[in-house]
């Protein structure tokens, strides 16, 4: 009987040892899972930060490029504007005396009014 008790005790010891080892494996697996979750969270934060930095750099490059385009277009418009103003100044210098005379004549003799489109001589342009 003693042998049966020993076998039973030995079997219970083995079962308890197996249970302890299984519990330890579960604890180790949970700890490993938590470490993996923490590593994933850190990696996700690194990726998000990297993407944010890249977006910031791209945004700044795009802003600089847009600013250059705007400056170039503004310079082009100003140059065209100056050219048109020179043309208008030239027309004024060439025609202002005639326009003044036409206006004066229209005030003095309203029946002899000239069509305003005729105030610019197309031959002189």
Say which residue the tokens 């208008």 belong to: 88
CA distance 79 to 58: 31
Find the DSSP H helices in 1-125: 2-108
pLDDT recorded at residue 118: 67
Instruction: Please identify which residue in the block is written with the tokens 């100056």.
Output: 82
Q: Is residue 17 part of a domain?
A: yes
Question: The pTM is what?
Answer: 0.50
CB atoms within 10 A of CB 20: 10
Task: Tell me how many domains the chain contains.
Answer: 1
Q: Measured between alpha carbons, how far is 96 from 83 in angstroms, rounded to an integer?
A: 19
Which range marks the domain in which residue 58 is found?
2-119
pLDDT tier for residue 41 given thresholds of 50, 70 and 90: very high
Q: Would 125 be classed as within a structural domain?
A: no
Residue 124 maps to a domain: no
> Is there a domain that residue 77 lies in?
yes
Token pair listed for 105: 């004549």
The pLDDT of residue 47 is above 60: yes
Answer whether 124's CB lies under 8 Å from 95's CB: yes
């Amino acid at each position: 009987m003693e042998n049966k008790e020993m076998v039973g005790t030995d079997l219970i010891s083995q079962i308890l040892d197996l249970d302890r080892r299984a519990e330890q494996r579960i604890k180790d697996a949970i700890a490993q899972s938590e470490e993996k979750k923490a590593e994933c969270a850190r990696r996700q934060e690194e990726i998000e930060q990297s993407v944010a930095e890249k977006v910031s750099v791209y945004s700044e490059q795009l802003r600089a490029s847009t600013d250059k385009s705007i400056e170039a277009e503004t310079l082009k418009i100003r140059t065209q504007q100056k050219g048109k103003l020179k043309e208008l100044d030239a027309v004024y210098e060439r025609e202002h005396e005639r326009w003044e005379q036409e206006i004066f004549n229209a005030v003095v003799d309203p029946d002899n009014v000239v069509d305003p489109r005729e105030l610019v001589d197309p031959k002189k342009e």
